């Protein structure tokens, strides 16, 4: 698939301390793999070393559903990075809740018309946007309306 945003933005990489490698590996195989506490079974996001519920360090990684709900959104018109040219604007960022993973939230872009009306509460599903030509290939989790 094509990329939602222009080339030249910072490419994500697993953190060097090893905290979040499973997530990035998962995205490359089109799986949404996030943290889940092995002790109290709470889903956790973003990545952390400890479970904020039970304070266990025994944190696992599990695949979760790619179904989400738009919790909030914003439409960006003013670029703050030189990679954006006029034709790349505006674009939409959404905050998506994962109802099947204790409503943890993820940030992504909402695919489709950048000028579309956005309705909080809309159902969306994850789409894996692969950047295979990057020096270190990665995939971004994007969202599209689930009709």
Partner 1 sequence: MPKRTHRGKTAVVGVGETTYYKRGQSPDAEFKLTLIAIIEACKDAGIDPKDIDGFSSYSNDRNEPTRLAAALGTKELRFASMQWGGGGGGASGAVANATAAIMAGMADVVVVFRSLAQGQFQRFGQGAQMNKISGQMAYTMPYGLMSPAQMFAMRCIRFMHDYDVKQETFRNIAMASYQHAQNNPRAVMNGRPLTEQKYDDSRWIVEPFHLYDCCQENDGAAALILVSAEKAKEFKSPVHILSAASGSEHRAGAPVHNNPTYATSSFTSVAPHLYEVAGITAKDVDVIQSYENFTGGVVMSLVEHGFCEPEEVNEALKLENLLAPSGKIPLNTSGGNLAECYMHGLGLNIEAVRQVRGESSNQVKDVNISMVTSGPMVSPVSSCIFGSEDTL
What minimum distance in Å lies between the beta carbon of 138 and partner 1? 8
What minimum distance in Å lies between the beta carbon of 58 and partner 1? 19
Per DSSP, the residues of 32-94 read -EEEEETTT--EE-S--SS-TTT--S-EEEEE--SEEEEEEEEEE-S--STT--GGG-SEEEE
Contact residue for partner 1 among 29, 63, 65, 72 (CB under 8 A): 72
Query: Which of Zn ion, partner 1, none is residue 101 near (CB under 5 to 8 Å by kind)?
Result: none
Contact residue for partner 1 among 25, 33, 62, 105 (CB under 8 A): 105
- Asked if residue 106 lies in contact with residue 23, where contact means CB atoms within 8 angstroms, the answer is no
Which positions touch Zn ion (CB under 5 A)?
A: 37, 39-40, 42, 51, 53-54, 56
């Amino acid at each position: 698939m094509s990329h939602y945003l222009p080339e030249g933005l910072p490419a994500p990489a697993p953190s060097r301390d090893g905290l979040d490698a499973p997530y990035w590996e998962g995205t490359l195989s089109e799986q949404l793999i996030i943290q889940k506490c092995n002790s109290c079974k709470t889903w956790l996001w973003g990545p952390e070393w400890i479970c904020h519920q039970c304070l266990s360090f025994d944190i696992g990684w599990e695949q979760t559903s790619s179904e989400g709900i738009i919790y909030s959104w914003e439409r960006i018109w003013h670029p703050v990075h030189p990679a954006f040219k006029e034709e790349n604007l505006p674009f939409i960022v959404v905050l998506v809740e994962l109802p099947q993973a204790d409503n943890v939230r993820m940030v992504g872009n909402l695919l489709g018309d950048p000028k579309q009306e956005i309705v909080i509460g809309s159902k969306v599903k994850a789409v894996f946007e692969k950047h295979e030509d990057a020096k270190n290939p990665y995939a971004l989790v994007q969202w599209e309306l689930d009709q």
